[in-house]
Amino acid sequence: MEIVVNMQGITKEFPGVIANDKVDFDLRQGEIHALLGENGAGKSTLMSVLFGLFHPDEGSISIRGEEVRINSPRDATKLGIGMVHQHFKLVHNFTVAQNIILGEEDTKNGLLTMEKSIDKIRKLSELYKLKVDPYAKIEDISVGQQQRVEILKMLYREADILILDEPTAVLTPQEIDELIKILKSLAQEGKSIILITHKLKEIKMAADRCTVLRLGKKIGTVNVKKTTNEELAEMMVGREISFTIDKKKAEAGEVVLKVERLCVHSDRSKRDVVKEMGFEVRKGEILCIAGIEGNGQTELVEALTGLRPISGGSVVLNGKDITHASIRERSLAGMAHVPEDRQRHGLVLDYPLEYNLILQQYFAPPFQKKGFLQFAPIRSYAEKLIDAFDIRTGKGAIALARNMSGGNQQKAIIAREMSRHTDLLIAVQPTRGLDVGAIEYIHDLLVSQRDEGKAVLLISLDLYEVMSLSDRIVVIYEGENVGEFDPASVTERELGLYMSGSKRREAS
């Protein structure tokens, strides 16, 4: 089989960290090659080198047997390389079609001609079953669809070496299945694909070979068919990982969060997206809201945390009515929040890590005195959390959040929210983009937060996570509570029926 990409001895150093250390990597024609490694292992960096975003300090790259220098994404595109980034790079108020042709516009007498391009987009999306409306605006479509736009963008540029950096982190289980199908058919067509993911199940399903990186070094490349999940995990973290969560039975105490007949209106879709929703979360339990993406979870959380106004019903935290309280008031009343969109809400990307770790506490002692920031306590607090949560950056507390790897950004947010002494923790997809070792650790932490007496409200699309972590499950469908379950006495299949709206029962 022809080798289309051959990277030899790639080394890339950032201040304080060697992100890639003499890494060899090769990609064969028509294969799906998975890239696996802990958060910060250097996966995105290696791919950015291939895509011309970074220049390697050492090493060489050959494409289809010819040694090349890739100085910019433009060069990469010319060589037929396309990349979908970990954090999408779409223009939000442009349409799908405009985004796809951006930089490759067809013009006639200097004027933009869209018809031909739109035709081509239509053909591509039919051919690969990537359904999108070319005229829809990016801000109005779901992340799953945005993903498809990113893939179409590569195909439009006639790339045949496709790099996908954690494409599944933001997708629902159904969308993941679809994506894998699409990738497989692309590979069959002769495209060569590099897939970065932390989910071993997906590697098993999709990939032919898998290369594992650890701390910037290549550990090895294996044939996926002949390797077990456990072996992969061990190669990745250098120790065994337990895939089960052990926890004792919950000892639920008094009610911390009480939500009654909550309605949330969406101005965009001009209707209530959360309807008469009601539930309680008690001290010492993990309540999980399960549902298929787009059934009002985002709006529900935004309403609970104060990012979005509530149009009806009430929210009571620790006996205090917070229905119309400000975000600051909620936070002070004992609410912590791991947000869904870590780059938009969760972090000030241009602030250093240490500043991000005090985002809701900068005004409180010991971080503030007489209106002045206290740099020594800020630094030592950051170092404490970096240590405790194993947040890896090249420069420690002063690393810019923007320069941290995706998984480490997520860890920083979790560290911040778990370390505030609040009674309620609202966590949306807390393990999104984390490696298996980190997921194990975060799951343990969520359980121990519960055992310490916190109330935990978990919003997750991952049914496995829902089933193994929660003490109670509320299923949300079209913004309504369609049933409450005990994870011990319900099957994934049955939950699925409620989540898809084919069954419902009134809240008990």
Ligand X SMILES: Nc1ncnc2c1ncn2[C@@H]1O[C@H](COP(=O)(O)OP(=O)(O)OP(=O)(O)O)[C@@H](O)[C@H]1O
Binding site for other proteins (CB under 8 A): 13-15, 53-55, 57, 307, 326-328, 330-331, 337, 339, 344-351, 355, 359-360, 362-363, 368, 371-373, 394, 402-403
Residue closer to other proteins (CB basis): 54 or 477: 54
CA angle 159, 163, 166 (to 5 degrees): 145
First-to-final CA distance of the chain:
60
Exactly one of 294, 394, 396, 496 binds ligand X (CB under 6 A); that residue is 394
DSSP reduced 3-state for 396: helix
Treating both helix axes as pointing N-terminal to C-terminal, what angle do 406-419 and 436-451 enclose, rounded to 10 degrees? 10
Instruction: Give the residue with the Cβ less far from ligand X, 211 or 305.
Output: 211
Q: Is 404 in the site for ligand X (CB under 6 A)?
A: yes
**Looking up tokens 């965009």, which residue turns up?**
268
* Cα–Cα distance, 100 to 323 (Å, whole number): 42
Tokens of 122: 């239509």
Kindly provide the residue ranges of all beta strands, DSSP E only, lying in 346-503, ordered along the sequence.
368-369, 372-373, 424-428, 455-460, 472-477, 480-485
Q: Strand locations in 200-334, DSSP E?
A: 209-214, 217-223, 255-266, 271-282, 286-290, 312-317, 320-321
Q: How far is the CB of 301 from ligand X (least distance, A)?
A: 23
Instruction: Provide the mask over 11-30, with x wherever binding to ligand X is found by CB under 6 A and - wherever it is not.
Output: ---x--x-x-----------
What residues pair up with 218 in beta bridges, in sequence order? Answer: 213
Question: CB under 5 to 8 A by kind: which of ligand X, other proteins, Mg ion, none does 393 bind?
Answer: ligand X
Please, which residues have CB within 8 angstroms of residue 167's CB and are 6 or more apart in sequence?
A: 84, 147, 150, 179, 195, 196, 197
The interface region with ligand X, picked from 22-30, 288-296, 386-394, 418-426 by CB under 6 A, is 386-394
DSSP letter assigned to residue 249: P
CB nearer to other proteins: give 11 or 142: 11
Report if residue 45 touches ligand X, rule: CB under 6 A. yes
Q: Could you tell which of ligand X, other proteins, Mg ion, none binds residue 41, using a CB distance below 5 to 8 A set by kind? A: ligand X
**Contact with Mg ion (CB under 5 A) among 167, 216, 406, 430:** 406
Are 255 and 280 in contact, with CB atoms under 8 Å apart?
Answer: yes
Task: Using CB under 6 A, pick the residue from 41, 151, 183, 257 that binds ligand X.
Answer: 41
Q: Which of residues 29-48 bind Mg ion (CB under 5 A)?
A: 44
Min separation Cβ 168 and ligand X, Å: 12
Is 125 near Mg ion (CB under 5 A)?
no
Applying CB under 5 A, which residues contact Mg ion? 44, 86, 405-406
Applying CB under 6 A, which residues contact ligand X? 14, 17, 19, 37, 39-45, 86, 392-394, 403-408
